[in-house]
Structure 1
């Protein structure tokens, strides 16, 4: 049996490109205002503050890594835009 050497996979690069192209619509729970941002901008958000929540489709996102994981899943499904609802924890728990 012959073994053929395979080069490095480009799948990760393709997936990352898809994730970085996803438009993020960020909705402020307190004011109702929305804005668009790029995925790379979210890395600078304050992820360490437990009193400020970000939610996508019912899932609380607590870190940049978790956001990327969820966006990979969305990219696999062909989703091009994702809404993130953000605000202080008490507004999320009280229903607004």
Structure 2
């Protein structure tokens, strides 16, 4: 096995995990969630699917691509505690401005 295929496979797995997380979050979205939040996850699903399929569509991903997709997955993972029981308050309306 050629070692150049390792980042390609790793990038595909990470992108598949991003698609899975986004689909799970889209499942929890209801009418009270802002349209921009739902659109964000739809675009992220499409981008991760295209990026994961990049060996067949565009070009072979390397280690920078794995780092980028891993960063996106980390961003989604670090926000998971807010989505555990449904969409967070910040997804259903504008953030409240506190008085200073």
TM-score between the two structures when normalised by the length of structure 1: 0.34
More strand by share: 1
TM-score between the two structures when normalised by the length of structure 2: 0.33
